[in-house]
Amino acid sequence: MLTQAQEQIIETTAPVVAEHLDAITQRFYPLMFERYPEVASLFNQAHQQDGGQPRALAGAILAYVKLRQTPETARQTLETVVNKHVSLDIQPDQYPIVGECLMAAIGEVLGEAVTPDVADAWTALYNELAGLLIELEEQRYQAFADRHGGWRGTRRFRIADTRQESRVIRSFILEPEDGGAVAEHAPGQFIGVKLEIDGKPVYRHYSLSDVPNGRSYRVSIKREPGGVASGYFHDRLDVGDTVELLPPAGELTLAQGEEPLLLVNCTPKVGHHPTFGVFLMAKYDESFKLRVIQQCLREDISQGEVARQYGVDVSTIRQWLATYRQHGVSGLRKKYSHHSAAFKREVLERMWRDGLSQRQAAALFDIRERSAIGRWERQYHSGGLTALEPQRKGRRPMSKKPPSPPLPDKERSQEALLKELAYLRAENAYLKSSMP
């Protein structure tokens, strides 16, 4: 924890450090690779040459200096760093190396402005940041290791199959060499790969490009001009060869839900953005839902544990369970429905009469869109029965005749009158139950 004097020094010197941060990070990496060549394999040298990694480091330091007084916001901002570190299996003993070389780079760039007190303050700030990252990464390592099919560190996978997707893109199906299960990954995540190329370790990240199946992972790799790792995959690896994988990571994921999904700019760009994996897995399929439900039905595991294991929101799992109990496996299949006004009225009547929640009513009537019943209820309260009628698409034709007035009660059939009476009674019961 920084002292009050150190806090004041950081506040005073932060603008100066920020002004020279690009120069500091540009000096930091060569200095670290010179002093500790063994860590060079953790960094993509192409990103060193184009300045991507120094800019990323500078941005992370600046963000932490600005946000460290609000710990929760700082943690969220560091998610990108944590994901990269998890995919590289970064360990606590590597942080002192970074700290030493970063402070040396600051000293070289800023010169005499870095007094002993300034150096101590920025060292304390770095140690605070390092401690937070170590804590967050340990939580992530342990959580993944505890999941079904999870592991810690590296795990050997065998290339079970390959497929040439295009002239420059090749997909690899990777199955665990130990024959065990494979932990589910979230849509949009990438996975760390550790290779041994010409006797040297090489680390890379590749987007996962298939839905989770509990048996394997798939990566689709673009051959990059002069790319060491991509060339190795394309030219030297084939079915039967093995690679080492690290846990899946990445925060650019799709939020769970059953609502309609709008796809925008979903052209895949292999090696840059994991959008292909996100949109490929935009909906959970029937087999995935069934695996989750089967886990929930075990007596030795809670719904919360299953949610963490499969990366699914607990409320989504509860909806799947309710639908499964009411309709079986058929309730897990995709369903495209247009509901009539009569059906909507029946749902509302049953919900009000029996005091059901919207989730219970949705499960009972196999309504997949969770927000539909609430929308129907609002429509009824704002416009009555006619508001439940499906709306025609496009422009409504001009009516040549004025609307017919409703029939007086004495001219309506007994069945119509009884239906309206039952509906009004259900509505009245609902209104009474909602009164304080």
Reported residue count of the chain is 436
Check: CB of residue 207 under 8 Å from CB of residue 190. Answer: yes
Q: Compute the distance between CA of residue 226 and CA of residue 235 in angstroms, rounded to an integer.
A: 12
284 assigned to active site: no
| Residue 400 forms part of a structural domain | no
Q: With bands split at pLDDT 50, 70 and 90, how would you rate the model's confidence at 421?
A: low
How many CB atoms sit inside 10 A of residue 236's CB? 10
120 and 20 inside one domain: yes
pLDDT of residue 100: 93
Number of domains, the chain? 4
Residue 101, judged by CB atoms within 10 A of its CB (0-12, 13-18, 19+), counts as buried
pLDDT of residue 398: 53
Q: Is the dihedral of CA 35, 38, 43, 49 positive or negative?
A: positive
Nearest to 349 by CA among 417, 423, 421, 416: 423
Q: Compute the distance between CA of residue 210 and CA of residue 217 in angstroms, rounded to an integer.
A: 7
105 and 27 inside one domain: yes
What is the CATH number for 318? 1.10.10
Nearest to 85 by CA among 124, 127, 43, 126: 43
Q: Is the dihedral of CA 287, 289, 292, 293 positive or negative?
A: negative
Range of the domain at 133: 4-146
Instruction: For residue 220, report the phi and psi dihedrals to the nearest 5 degrees.
Output: -115, 115
What contacts 240, CB < 8 A, 6 or more positions away?
158, 159
- Mean per-residue pLDDT for 23-33? 89
State the pTM of this model.
0.58
Tens-place pLDDT, residues 309-355 = 666 777 788 888 887 777 777 777 665 567 788 888 888 888 888 77
pLDDT of residue 118: 93
318 and 359 inside one domain: no
Tens-place pLDDT, residues 226-266 = 889 999 999 999 999 999 999 998 866 555 555 555 555 54
Name the domain boundary from 206, 228, 252. 252
214 and 111 inside one domain: no
| Residue 308 forms part of a structural domain | yes
| Residue 281 forms part of a structural domain | no
132 and 173 inside one domain: no
pLDDT of residue 18: 84
Q: Is the dihedral of CA 35, 39, 45, 51 positive or negative?
A: negative
What is the CATH number for 20? 1.10.490.10
The active-site residue, picked from 29, 137, 217, 232, is 137
Q: Which residue is listed with tokens 């650019």?
A: 252
Instruction: For residue 159, report the phi and psi dihedrals to the nearest 5 degrees.
Output: -75, 110
Q: Is the dihedral of CA 83, 261, 267, 59 positive or negative?
A: negative
Q: Compute the distance between CA of residue 191 and CA of residue 206 in angstroms, rounded to an integer.
A: 6
| Residue 267 forms part of a structural domain | no
How many CB atoms sit inside 10 A of residue 341's CB? 16
Name the domain boundary from 146, 180, 208. 146
Q: Compute the distance between CA of residue 113 and CA of residue 107 in angstroms, rounded to an integer.
A: 8
The active-site residue, picked from 95, 126, 217, 232, is 95
171 and 225 inside one domain: yes
326 and 291 inside one domain: yes
What contacts 400, CB < 8 A, 6 or more positions away?
none
What is the CATH number for 211? 2.40.30.10
Q: With bands split at pLDDT 50, 70 and 90, how would you rate the model's confidence at 79?
A: confident
Tens-place pLDDT, residues 152-182 = 999 999 999 999 988 899 999 999 999 999 9
Q: With bands split at pLDDT 50, 70 and 90, how would you rate the model's confidence at 378?
A: confident
pLDDT of residue 339: 77
- Mean per-residue pLDDT for 64-86? 82
Comparison of pLDDT for 111 and 319, the residue scoring more: 111
Q: How does 368-403 read in b/e, with b if 16+ C-beta sit within 10 Å?
A: bebebbeebbebbeeeeeeebeeeeeeeeeeeeeee
- Mean per-residue pLDDT for 422-436? 54
178 and 232 inside one domain: yes
Q: With bands split at pLDDT 50, 70 and 90, how would you rate the model's confidence at 273?
A: very low
Q: Is the pLDDT of residue 280 over 50?
A: no
232 assigned to active site: no
Q: In what order do the strands lie in the sheet with 242-249?
A: 200-207, 190-197, 242-249, 155-164, 169-176, 217-222
Comparison of pLDDT for 370 and 136, the residue scoring more: 136
13 and 124 inside one domain: yes
139 and 48 inside one domain: yes
202 and 240 inside one domain: yes
User: pLDDT averaged over the chain?
Assistant: 79
